[in-house]
Chain A
């Protein structure tokens, strides 16, 4: 799966990091970093949870 974040919508609240810290990290500079843009299938369910949990609908994944 390919992960992308719409940074115009992202407010760096780190919700996605709380769900999948291997993929999303909000650093002390206040920005969100995508650590792995092409995570393996073992991340499918947590990625879906991150997509649904982002309060700004900023995350999308392409199968």
Chain B
């Protein structure tokens, strides 16, 4: 495989967490050739998790989410091309086509274009907020600014983003009402048991959650919106926000010849070809884990981070990490911290090994065919990280229960 040299030119498309961390990692690895970072947003790379937490709650200014400060940008010696989407990639010549008509030709390309918020096809769709970017939050804050205290805000979707947004709105004195389509939030992500242990959280934070909501349409009125439901009911919120998952930003690669299938498909080294890699939310990568190897796409902050470091290291040294990648995810919602290690499925078996609903603190193990596949905790960071060993080498559920690393 080809190592990077000073005469190379690495082009990173997507100036989010993965793209920026790749730039930093490549310089840290000693790369001294040309480096270009292309992004469609007008902002230098910033961090998204605080947007739905501290920023929306009014505790942080958006500036506090900046990752690529002027000082770090200068240190990274990177050519920034912001506010210009890439519209095509010529794989053979590793040339990126930009929407303004310019071409950027390099020797290596990193695809880090992430995901965007899914919109729902209601009549008022254009006026319904999503929370994915700084601009989204600015637009939302603009609409919230004119509301009286306690105004009703509909939050469509009770998943991670919806829950965090509802928590932040409640902190600001609004009345969020969470409209969840399933029988319970997160049931399709965490499975029936774990989702049931979280069912009371909204109430403890004084947030109203309505499950099993079939929304027919959302229309705009003079002073807000009407949400209409399949059962004939209606709700009249002043603002509507949707948190209904994300879609991959890979349309710009449609004619590139790369394999696009729910993300950019790459191998265990995060490569689509020798000179083209994909990292972060948009990458569907071959993940070696305790239960085998599978093709996954994981929308976690830490994955974007890890991918960036791994690809930079691989291109500089020809080496990939020897340890298994253990995904980590967290969500701060309703005043509690949910944390997860691994990438368990909603259909995996679940064993609660400590705590209970009453104390709102617990540790749950996920397993498949008797092998531990994940750990999820509520308010137990220490126990979670002590359990990481269970996912670093294949561990049977019996052995995990006997060793009980979470309580050491």
Bound form: Cα–Cα A36–B384 in Å: 22
**CA–CA, A21 to B388, complex, Å?**
11
Interchain CA distance A18-B306 in the complex, whole Å: 14
**Which residue of A11, A26, A53 is within 8 Å of B305 (Cβ)?**
A53
Is B287 on the interface with A (CB-CB < 8 A)? no
Selected contact of A52 from candidates B21, B328, B382, B388, CB within 8 Å: B21
Is the Cβ of B309 less than 8 Å from the Cβ of A52?
Answer: yes
Tally inter-chain residue pairs, CB-CB below 8 A: 40
Smallest Cβ-Cβ distance to A27: which chain B residue: B382
Whether B328 lies near A18 (C-beta < 8 A) is yes
- On chain A, the residues within 8 Å of B25 by CB distance are 52
Q: Which B residue's beta carbon lies closest to that of A24?
A: B385
Complex interface residues of chain A between 41 and 63 (CB less than 8 A to chain B): 48-49, 52-53, 55
Within 8 A of A (CB), among B368-408: 381-382, 384-385, 388
- CB A33 to nearest CB in B, in angstroms, measures 11
A53-B302 in contact (CB<8A): yes
Contact of A14 among B28, B306, B381 (CB under 8 A): B381
Q: 5 closest Cβ contacts across the A-B interface?
A: A14-B381, A18-B385, A14-B385, A26-B382, A17-B385
Q: Which residues of B contact A (CB under 8 A)?
A: 21, 25, 28, 49, 301-302, 305-306, 309, 328, 330, 337, 339, 341, 381-382, 384-385, 388
User: Can you pick out 8 interface pairs between chain A and chain B where the beta carbons lie within 8 Å of each other?
Assistant: A14-B381, A15-B385, A18-B328, A18-B384, A18-B385, A48-B28, A52-B305, A53-B305
List 10 additional A-B contacts (Cβ < 8 Å) besides A18-B384, A52-B25. Answer: A11-B337, A12-B381, A13-B381, A15-B385, A18-B388, A26-B381, A26-B385, A28-B382, A52-B305, A55-B330
